[in-house]
């Protein structure tokens, strides 16, 4: 075998996004023991940083040692007991993954489905909750990465409260790029991922649980079926108050990386980071629209960090992505499910949400479309994008 030396790509897909050098450097620092007092101090700071990021006082806020899907599973397996009814909002891939989690945890999933590319209609969710008064949990995706749609998280959480059920919220793609207000919105269980707007490497999932959620966990009659994701066991390690004990070996160096990503986020400012995502999105929109391309999602509900762009008629979408990768070392995403072959998904997440990336993407796309006889003026599109990014 020989050392693996990957090519330096620009990552503008649905995640992972570009990882900042500062984060990679942090991860290359000496590995400490996972119970070393110095490491434990870092853990406490990390938990505090995540609370500030999630805008919560929840003590039970920490990173799960596994990717976003594990954070998702931790929320579902701890809060659901066999037979529990869970209303799941689905308007893309990740709502379906929530349904899978409900069923595998022994719950009953009641689905409220919306067309891909549209937002959940809060009044329709209200009807379903009213018709299912024994619902224990409402679960929904804040930022649906498969379509680029934002859900009205505040309204859905308020609705759940009215119907006296807990909420499980997927904030994998939104956290760091859009406001997420755990306490103000009354979210009970939330999970995110390190590799999207937090610009860290993949493999960690920040989560937070409210007191109401913890009361539900403590009142369980059936033990959590997963040993690794059982909140009460994991907390023996992450809760520093009663002394820490070994549960699993924490991924020490990746946690340095997440810590550094929070340091960088707070240096910039959370609001400033949200604003940067919005401005880069406006630049990309201006450039792509100048090239005559259309967006899948209505502007009112578009995500800034995930842009679903319609593939023009007659264009081979896979060939465009291949050209970008080969000639520009640039990765963008393909459509999933019913959107396969119909859209590209262009990510502007974390470190990837910057002017150079917007400009590279427009230049590369204009070239790739030209190769397929769709001639667009790349320079004019760049000008439109630059104007939109400097206006703000």
Ligand X SMILES: *Cc1c(COP(=O)(O)O)cnc(C)c1O
Structure tokens of 148? 């680029």
What span, in angstroms and rounded, lies between the C-alpha atoms of 278 and 271?
11
**Segment 62 to 81, residues that bind ligand X, using CB under 6 A:** 67-69, 72
Name which of 46 and 200 has its Cβ closer to ligand X: 200
Name which of 94 and 209 has its Cβ closer to ligand X: 94
Instruction: Check binding of 287 to ligand X (CB under 6 A).
Output: no
In this chain, which of 145, 147, 201, 352 binds ligand X, going by CB under 6 A? Answer: 145
In this chain, which of 63, 95, 107, 193 binds ligand X, going by CB under 6 A? Answer: 193
Are the C-beta atoms of residues 102 and 247 closer than 8 Å to each other? no
What span, in angstroms and rounded, lies between the C-alpha atoms of 46 and 259?
6
Give the helix/strand (H/E) hosting 78: helix 68-79
Name which of 69 and 132 has its Cβ closer to ligand X: 69
Closest separation between CB of residue 89 and ligand X, Å?
A: 12
Name which of 303 and 366 has its Cβ closer to ligand X: 303
Name which of 79 and 172 has its Cβ closer to ligand X: 172
Instruction: Check binding of 147 to ligand X (CB under 6 A).
Output: no
- Check whether the bond before 93 is cis (ω within 30° of 0): no
In this chain, which of 17, 65, 78, 173 binds ligand X, going by CB under 6 A? Answer: 173
Closest separation between CB of residue 58 and ligand X, Å?
A: 20
What span, in angstroms and rounded, lies between the C-alpha atoms of 61 and 207?
6
Number of chain residues interacting with ligand X (CB under 6 A)? 13
**Residue 337 CB neighbour total at 10 angstroms:** 11
Are the C-beta atoms of residues 140 and 121 closer than 8 Å to each other? no
Distance from CA of residue 13 to its chain's centroid? 12
Find out whether 345 is annotated in a ligand binding site: yes
Select from 165-173, 246-254, 263-271, 333-341 the region that touches ligand X (CB under 6 A).
Answer: 165-173
Closest separation between CB of residue 175 and ligand X, Å?
A: 10
Structure tokens of 43? 């853990």
In this chain, which of 170, 230, 260, 317 binds ligand X, going by CB under 6 A? Answer: 170
In this chain, which of 110, 112, 138, 141 binds ligand X, going by CB under 6 A? Answer: 141
Closest separation between CB of residue 363 and ligand X, Å?
A: 27
Instruction: Check binding of 15 to ligand X (CB under 6 A).
Output: yes
Distance from CA of residue 315 to its chain's centroid? 29
Q: Bridge partners of 302? A: 149
Name which of 343 and 366 has its Cβ closer to ligand X: 343
Select from 167-175, 260-268, 272-280, 294-302 the region that touches ligand X (CB under 6 A).
Answer: 167-175
What span, in angstroms and rounded, lies between the C-alpha atoms of 271 and 283?
19
What span, in angstroms and rounded, lies between the C-alpha atoms of 286 and 254?
36
Name which of 117 and 287 has its Cβ closer to ligand X: 117
Are the C-beta atoms of residues 369 and 315 closer than 8 Å to each other? yes
Instruction: Check binding of 94 to ligand X (CB under 6 A).
Output: yes
E strand residue ranges, 262-328: 306-310
What span, in angstroms and rounded, lies between the C-alpha atoms of 348 and 305?
4
183: phi then psi, degrees, rounded to nearest 5? -75, -45
In this chain, which of 105, 112, 168, 172 binds ligand X, going by CB under 6 A? Answer: 172
Q: Which spans of this chain sit near ligand X (rule: CB under 6 A)?
A: 15, 67-69, 72, 94, 141, 145, 170, 172-173, 193, 202
Annotated binding site: 345
Annotated binding site for substrate: 345
């Amino acid at each position: 075998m020989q050392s693996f030396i990957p090519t330096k790509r620009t990552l503008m897909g649905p995640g992972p996004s570009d990882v900042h050098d500062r984060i990679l450097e942090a991860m290359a620092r000496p590995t400490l023991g996972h119970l070393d007092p110095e490491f434990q101090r870092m853990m406490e700071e990390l938990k505090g940083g995540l609370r500030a990021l999630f805008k919560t006082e929840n003590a039970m806020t920490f990173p799960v040692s596994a990717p976003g899907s594990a954070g998702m599973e931790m929320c579902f397996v701890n809060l659901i007991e066999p037979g529990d009814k869970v209303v799941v909002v689905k308007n893309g891939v990740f709502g379906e993954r929530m349904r899978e989690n409900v069923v595998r945890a022994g719950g009953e999933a009641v689905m409220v489905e919306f067309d891909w590319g549209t937002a959940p209609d809060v009044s329709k969710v209200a009807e379903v909750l009213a018709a299912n008064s024994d619902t224990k949990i409402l679960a929904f995706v804040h930022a649906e990465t498969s379509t680029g749609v934002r859900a009205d998280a505040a309204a859905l959480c308020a609705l759940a409260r009215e119907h006296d059920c807990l909420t499980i919220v997927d904030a994998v793609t939104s956290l760091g790029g859009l406001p997420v207000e755990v306490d103000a919105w009354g979210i009970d269980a939330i999970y995110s991922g390190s590799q999207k707007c937090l610009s860290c490497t993949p493999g960690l999932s920040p989560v937070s649980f409210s007191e109401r959620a913890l009361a539900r966990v403590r009142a369980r009659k059936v033990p959590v079926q997963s040993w690794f994701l059982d909140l009460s066991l994991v907390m023996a390690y992450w809760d520093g108050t009663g002394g820490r004990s070994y549960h699993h070996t924490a991924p020490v160096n990746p946690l340095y990386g997440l810590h550094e990503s929070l340091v960088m986020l707070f240096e910039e400012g959370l609001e400033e980071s949200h604003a940067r995502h919005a401005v880069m999105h406006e630049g990309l929109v201006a450039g792509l629209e100048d090239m005559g391309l259309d967006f899948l999602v209505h502007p009112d509900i578009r995500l800034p960090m995930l842009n679903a762009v319609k593939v023009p008629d007659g264009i081979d979408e896979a060939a465009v992505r291949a050209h970008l990768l080969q000639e520009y070392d640039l990765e963008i995403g393909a459509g999933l499910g019913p959107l396969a072959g119909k859209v590209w998904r262009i990510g502007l997440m974390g470190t990837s949400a910057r002017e150079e990336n917007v400009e590279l993407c427009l230049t590369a796309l204009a070239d790739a479309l030209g190769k397929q006889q769709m001639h667009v003026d790349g320079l004019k599109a760049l000008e439109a994008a630059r104007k939109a990014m400097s206006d703000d």
